[in-house]
Structure 1
Amino acid sequence: MEEGEVLEEHLVAATFTVEDAINECGFGWFQVKATLFAGLVLTVASVIIFLLVIVSPEVRCEFSFSALEECFITTVAFCGMICGSPIWGSLSDKYGRKKSLILCMVALFLATLFSCFAKNYAYLLVSWGLIGLSVSGTPMATPFYSELLPAKHRPACFMFVHVFNAIGIFFEVGVAILFTHFKLKWKLKWYWLNGVATVVVGLSLLLFLLVPESPYYLLTSGKAAKATEVLAKVAKNNGKMLPVGRLVLQQDKNGGDDDDDDSDVEGNQLIAIKPRPEKVRRGTFRDLFATSQQTVTTVLLCVIWMCSTFGYFGIVLLTTEILDLFDVLHAENKSDGTLWPCGVDAADFRNVTLGGQCEMLTMNDYFQFLWTSAAELPGLLLTVFLAKVMGRKKLLAVEFIASGLPIFLLFICPLNKYLMMLIVFVVRSLITGALQAVYMYTPEVYPTAIRSLGVGFCNAVGRCGALISPFVAQVFIIRTVHGAEAVYGGMCILAGICAIFLPIETKNRELKDVLAPKTEEKRLIIN
C-alpha cells in the first residue's frame, strides 16, 4: 500500500469531538469575545433586576402605594421569572442558544419599554410580570458560554464573567446617583431609570446578532456543516488548527462506521462531502429524571439552587434591615449607634420594616448598595483559586458551609456595628462565590440535549427561594431577629450538605452530548 493511501485511511479513521476542537484551539481572541458577550447578558440582567430595587420606593411615592402593594410588585416580577426560566430553557435546547437569547432580549426590550408608560397599579403589575418573564431567559447565556470554553479555563472564565453582575449594579446605581446629585430637571423619576434600562437592552440586542450559534447544539441538531464553520472560526480567531479527522458525537468517538465513502482528503484536513443530517433526540422535562442518577442530581441541585438564591437575596436584605435598625436604635437613644444592645425589642424592627412613610432612597442608600455589591468580588476571586485545587462538589460544599457558619456570629451580644459589617461582608463574598459555582456546575452536569432546560428548571426553583426570602428578612425578623439569622445560616449549610451527596463530579469531565450512552443515532460527519 502506498504512503498516500495509508495517510488517507488514517485521516478517514481519525475522529474528534467538539470538546476536542475547543480544547485544541485553547483560550484566545474568540473566547475573549464570548466572555464579553456573556458578560453583557449578565450586565443587562443585573441592571433589570436591580432596577426593581431602586424604582420600588420611587413608584410607591409616585402613586401613593402601600407597603404591601409595593411588595406585591416584586412578587409578580419573581413569579414571572419562575414561570419563564424552564420555558426559555426548553426553547434554547430545541431552537438554539442564539435564537432563544435574541428572542429573550427582544421580549425584554419591549417589556421595559412598556413599563416606561405605566399610569396605574394594574399597568405596573402587568409590565413587571412581563419583565420578570423576559429577564428569566438571560441565565441561558450560562450553558451557551460553557460550550465555547476550553475545559481547563472554564472555572476562571465563569468566575470572571460574573464580575459583570456587579458592573450592572454599579451602572444602575451610578445613574441613580447622577440623577440625584445633579438634580436634573427630570428629578429622579422611576420611568427615566426604566428608560435608561431600555436603552441598555436595545444596544445589547444589536450586538447579539454577531454571536455564532453553539457548535454543540448545531452538531446534535444534524447541522454538522454549520458546526464546522463555527469551530473553524474559533480556530482562525485563536490562530490554531482544528484536529485532523471527522467531527463526531462524543459517544461515537471510538466507534461507528469508518468505511464512509462520502469523505475526501485535502491537505491535512478531512472534508466530508455528504454528511448525514440525523439529529440527536431533544430532551424533555421528563429526561431530567430519566435515570436514578439524573433524578438524584436534579433533586439535589434544586435544593442547592433554592438555598443559594434564598441565602444570597436574604443576606442583601438582611444587611439593609440590620443597618437601618442601628440607626433607629441610635435615634431613640437605645444605643450609641455602634453597638447592638442585648434584648432588642421586636417593635424596633417594626418601625423599620413596616413603616407607612413614603421614603425615597438617599445618597447614603446608594453608596451602601455599592459597598455591599463590592463584597462579591473577593468571593469570585476565592472561587477561581479553589476551583483549581479541588473538585466542583467539594468547592460547593466548602463555600456554602463556610458562608453559613459566620452568620451565627451575629448572635454575639452586644454586637459591634463594624464587626457586624465585617461578618456580613465575608458572608456576602462566600455566598456569591458559591452561587456562581452552582452556575458553573449545572451546565457541566447536564448533556447538550437538556443542558439549557436543566439550567432553566433549576433557576426557576432557585427563584422560588428568592421569592420567599423577603418574608424572612422583612417579616419573620420582626418576631425574632436571631431566628431569621438562623434560618439563613441553616439554609446555607443545608446547600453544602446536599453538594456533598451530588453523584457526579464534573471537574476535568467532558461536556456530554446526548441523553444516554447508547442511542440509535448514527455518527455525524463534518461537512
Structure 2
Amino acid sequence: AADAMEMLLLSVLGPALRCDWRLTSTEVAGITTVVFAGMLLGAPGWGAVSDKRGRWSVFALSLCLMAYFGLLCSFSPDYFWLVSLRGVVGFNIGGAASSFTLLSEYLPQQHRAKVLILYNLFWGLGSTFEILLAYLVLPTLGWRYLVAFSSLPLFLFMLTLGFLLASGRAEEAAAVIDQIARENRRPAMEGRPAVATSDRGQLKALFHPFYRRTSFILFSLWFGVAFSYYGIVLVSTEIFRFHQDCFSTAQSVTVAHNTTESVVDNSCCRGLQSDDYTAMLISSLGEFVIIPVNMLTIDALGRRATLGINYLLTGVFFGLTYLCVPKAATTAFLFLIRAHSAGIFNTIYIYTTEVYPTVIRSLGLGICSAMARLGSMTTPFVAQVIMPDVSVLLAFISQSLFSLALAADGASAADGASAADGIQKD
C-alpha cells in the first residue's frame, strides 16, 4: 500500500509542478522517469542481495530508506534536488518486491495464486488512498505537504517488521518452521533444512538452457505491462485536458487588441479539477474489480488465458479512449484499462515467482522488475511529451498496439506454468 502511494504520487505531482515551477513537458516526464530509472537499478541489486542475505534485511532496509528520502523530497528547493531525491526513492522501491517473494515462499501451491492475488488488494487501497489524499491536500496545502504525507505510512509500517528471515541460517530456519508447526497443530518437519549455496543469487542462472526462453519472454511481458499500466496512470491526468471539446467544457477568455475576441485557453498549465480526481478515483477502483475475476480465471482457465485476455482487452480499451465520446464513456474506458492492466500485473507476479527456484527467485523477480522499469521510463514521454506536444493519436496508437502485440506473447509465456508448478513440487 505504501509502495503504491509513492508510485501514484507521480500522477499528480507532475501536473502540480508544471504550474508551480513552470516546467516543460520534458521536465515533467523527467520527474516520473527518474523514479523508474532508480527502480531499474535497484530491483536487480536488491533482488540479488535478497537471495544471498535473506528477505527481511532487504525489505526492512529498503523500506527505511524509501521513507527517509521520500520525506526529504518535500523539502526540495528546486527541480534538480527533487529529481535526485525521487531517483533515490525509486532505487529503494526496487527492494519492496522482497515482500511478494517472501509471501509466495510461505504459501502452498493450492492456495498460492488466490492469496497472492488478494495481496494486490493492498496496492489498490494504497493507490486509491493517494488520490483521495491528493484531492484533500493538493488544492489547500500544496504539493510539499502531499509528498510528506505520502511518506508517513512507510514509517508506520516499519513498526511491523519484527520477524526474522535470513539466508543460510539453517538452524534458525528450522526453529521457525517448528514453531509454525506447533501453532498450527501439525506434525513437526522431518529432517533438517539444507543450506543451498550453488548459483545463489547468480545472474547466469536466469539464462540456463532450462530458463532462457522463459526469461526472455518474461522480460518482454514485464516491459509491456509497465508501459501500459503506468501509461494509463499518467494519461488519466492528461486525457481530459485534450478532450475538452468533446465534453463541451472549453472555457473562453477575452483578449483585447483593439477588438474583443473569444478564444479557447489551451495553456498546458491547468491544475487538476475535482472531476479529474473523480475520474482518477473511478479508474483506480478497477484494480479492486479485477481481483475476484482473476481469482476465478487464473486457476480455472490458467495463466495463459488470464494473461492473454487481459493484454487483449487493455489494448482494445486503450484504443477506444482516444474516441471523442461523452466524459462518462471516457472514464469507463480508463476504469477498464486500469482493471485489465492491473490483472496482468497480478498474474505475471505469480508466474514469475513460480517459475524460478528459491536460490534465484528474488533475483529473477528483480531483473523482470527492471525490465518493467524500462517500460515505465518510456511511458512518461508518450503520455507527457508526445501527447501534449506531438500527437494525441500517436500516443494512443502506440499504447494500444503494444498491448495487442503482447497478447499472444503472454499466452506463450503462460504455457510454462504447469512446468513451473512441477518444478515447485520437485
TM-score bracket relative to the smaller structure: 0.7 to 0.9
**8 Å contact kept, 2:236–2:279:** no
* Match in the other structure for 1:268: none
Superposition pairs of residues 501-516 of structure 1, within 5 angstroms: 501-502=412-413, 504-506=416-418, 509=421, 512=424
The alpha-carbon distance between structure 1 residues 49 and 141, as it changes in their structure 2 partners (threshold 3 A), is: same
**8 Å contact kept, 1:396–1:496:** yes
* Match in the other structure for 1:322: 239
User: Among residues 487, 492, 497, which one is paired with 2:403 in the alignment?
Assistant: 492
* Match in the other structure for 2:151: 198
Structure 1: where are the runs of 5+ without partners? 1-42, 182-186, 250-276, 335-347, 518-527
**8 Å contact kept, 1:396–1:499:** yes
Superposition pairs of residues 456-467 of structure 1, within 5 angstroms: 456-467=366-377
Show CA shifts across 1:232-278 (max 9, x none): 232234343335x21456xxxxxxxxxxxxxxxxxxxxxxxxxxx67
**8 Å contact kept, 2:26–2:385:** no
* Match in the other structure for 1:238: 184
Larger radius of gyration: 1
Deviation, structure 1 residue 453: 0.6
TM-score (norm 2): 0.87
**8 Å contact kept, 1:78–1:463:** yes
Counterpart CA distance in 2 for 1:483 and 1:302 is 25
**8 Å contact kept, 1:97–1:144:** yes
The alpha-carbon distance between structure 1 residues 390 and 95, as it changes in their structure 2 partners (threshold 3 A), is: same
Calculate percent identity across the aligned residue pairs.
26
The alpha-carbon distance between structure 1 residues 175 and 322, as it changes in their structure 2 partners (threshold 3 A), is: closer
Deviation, structure 1 residue 424: 3.3
The answer to whether the aligner puts 1:443 opposite 2:353 as a matched pair is yes
Counterpart CA distance in 2 for 1:62 and 1:407 is 30
* Match in the other structure for 2:273: 362
Superposition pairs of residues 325-364 of structure 1, within 5 angstroms: 325-329=242-246, 330-332=248-250, 355-357=267-269, 359-364=270-275
Deviation, structure 1 residue 192: 1.7
Q: After TM superposition, where is structure 1 displaced by more than 6 Å over at least 4 residues in a row?
A: none
Counterpart CA distance in 1 for 2:409 and 2:108 is 28
The alpha-carbon distance between structure 1 residues 511 and 242, as it changes in their structure 2 partners (threshold 3 A), is: farther
Counterpart CA distance in 2 for 1:195 and 1:408 is 36
User: Among residues 32, 36, 47, which one is paired with 1:74 in the alignment?
Assistant: 32
* Greater helix share, structure number: 2
Counterpart CA distance in 2 for 1:300 and 1:108 is 30
* Match in the other structure for 2:257: none
Superposition pairs of residues 61-140 of structure 1, within 5 angstroms: 61-140=19-98
**8 Å contact kept, 1:387–1:395:** yes
Deviation, structure 1 residue 156: 1.2
* Letter aligned with residue 149 of structure 1: L
The alpha-carbon distance between structure 1 residues 225 and 240, as it changes in their structure 2 partners (threshold 3 A), is: same
Number of residue-to-residue matches in the alignment:
412
**8 Å contact kept, 2:11–2:234:** no
**8 Å contact kept, 1:47–1:172:** yes
* Letter aligned with residue 207 of structure 2: F
Counterpart CA distance in 2 for 1:376 and 1:278 is 38
Superposition pairs of residues 50-69 of structure 1, within 5 angstroms: 50-69=8-27
Deviation, structure 1 residue 411: 6.8
The alpha-carbon distance between structure 1 residues 485 and 72, as it changes in their structure 2 partners (threshold 3 A), is: closer
Deviation, structure 1 residue 459: 0.5
The alpha-carbon distance between structure 1 residues 420 and 118, as it changes in their structure 2 partners (threshold 3 A), is: closer
User: Among residues 336, 355, 378, which one is paired with 1:426 in the alignment?
Assistant: 336
Counterpart CA distance in 2 for 1:180 and 1:122 is 21
User: Among residues 181, 187, 204, which one is paired with 1:286 in the alignment?
Assistant: 204
* Letter aligned with residue 296 of structure 2: F
**8 Å contact kept, 1:392–1:506:** no
Partner secondary structure for residue 128 of structure 1:
helix
Deviation, structure 1 residue 480: 4.4
Superposition pairs of residues 263-412 of structure 1, within 5 angstroms: 279-291=197-209, 293-329=210-246, 330-332=248-250, 355-357=267-269, 359-410=270-321
Deviation, structure 1 residue 157: 0.9
- Shifted more, 485-494 versus 233-242: the winner is 233-242
* Match in the other structure for 1:160: 118
* Match in the other structure for 1:224: 170
Counterpart CA distance in 2 for 1:407 and 1:124 is 31
The alpha-carbon distance between structure 1 residues 322 and 279, as it changes in their structure 2 partners (threshold 3 A), is: closer
The alpha-carbon distance between structure 1 residues 420 and 55, as it changes in their structure 2 partners (threshold 3 A), is: closer
**8 Å contact kept, 2:39–2:373:** yes
